[in-house]
Amino acid sequence: MKAGFIQFEPIFGEIDRNLERVESLIEKADADLLVLPELFNTGYLFTSKQEAIDLSEEVPGGKTTQMLCRMAREKNLYLVGGLAEKSGEKFFNSAVLVSPEGYVGTYRKVHLFFEETLWFDPGDKGFEVYDIGKCRLGIMICFDWIFPEAMRVLSLKGADIICHSSNLVLPFCQDAMITRCLENHVFAITANRTGTEKRGGESLHYTGKSQITGLGADLLYRAGGDTEEVGVVDIDVEMARDKKLNDYNNLFRDRRPEFYGDIR
């Protein structure tokens, strides 16, 4: 299947502009699955809880999810994209999955980073794997990468491809994803944003370099650090289903969970 990412620079608070930008990039893409960055519709650097409240949307009724559903239908593809979700009195840093037939599901970020902990509620739905026919995909968001448990759980639940919506500010993730994919024998699509946000006396620079990571410590695609870019590669999904490392070792069969109990 043809799978990839959209890397661009969202402008904080300008939801309509950001949706238009993404729409025109999806329009030109040739893919079965595209992953968009974390909070791609709002931008990242909130300065108050009120901003998070004002910019959050209901899922699937809000305009961002509706735009994604329309694009998925028109282009006959699957989309994963990060947005600020309002659910009753709660606000989540979420990513939605939509198909050509409409809304499929939502992942709510489990491991909140830095001041996100002030604006958002921690994810309450855990890690889910979606069988979309062409592949089984799992979703995680940005900082989840630093907890190997996130990708491990998704992989043990059968994910072939990890869709990783991101707003990366530390320089470590892209290289770490090579190890995450190697240890789980899964593909990953890390969709990062670019640019610098300066708000409320703070400044964050996002590292770009979105990437599609292969199974064997190989990089299938890495974008530039500050380019607007749509990266797509052909992925042989079946390869992720065989966890055999050599004639003697299988990555999942050889696990010894009876010795891992202290993790809890």
Task: Point out the residues that are catalytic.
Answer: 38, 109, 142
Taking CB under 6 A as the criterion, the residue among 169, 186, 189, 223 binding ligand ACM is: 169
Contacts with ligand ACM, 24-63, as mask; x by CB under 6 A: --------------x-------------------------
Helix axes 173-184, 148-156, angle to 10 degrees: 30
Identify which of 81, 66, 12 has the alpha carbon closest to the alpha carbon of residue 42: 12
The residue to which tokens 């910019």 are assigned: 55
- CA dihedral sign, ordered 17, 20, 24, 30: positive
Q: Which is nearer to ligand ACM, 112 or 135 (CB)?
A: 112
CB of 185 to ligand ACM, least distance (A): 25
Q: Specify the DSSP element, H or E, that contains 83.
A: strand 78-87
Identify which of 95, 103, 60 has the alpha carbon closest to the alpha carbon of residue 78: 103
Using CA atoms, how far residue 221 sits from 41, 60, 190, in Å, is 24, 31, 10
Q: Which is nearer to ligand ACM, 120 or 187 (CB)?
A: 120
Q: Within 10 Å of residue 4's Cβ, how many Cβ atoms? A: 26
CB of 117 to ligand ACM, least distance (A): 11
Give the number of residues in contact with ligand ACM, rule: CB under 6 A: 7
CB of 39 to ligand ACM, least distance (A): 8
* Distance separating alpha carbons of residues 81 and 87, to the nearest angstrom: 17
CB of 204 to ligand ACM, least distance (A): 9
Taking CB under 6 A as the criterion, the residue among 22, 140, 142, 162 binding ligand ACM is: 142
Contacts with ligand ACM, 107-136, as mask; x by CB under 6 A: ------x-----------------------
Q: Which is nearer to ligand ACM, 13 or 100 (CB)?
A: 13
CB of 78 to ligand ACM, least distance (A): 23
* Distance separating alpha carbons of residues 2 and 87, to the nearest angstrom: 33
In this structure, the strands spanning 229-234 and 161-165 are unpaired
Binding of residue 143 to ligand ACM (CB under 6 A): yes
- Using CB under 6 A as the criterion, which residues of the chain lie in contact with ligand ACM when the complex forms? 38, 113, 142-143, 167-169
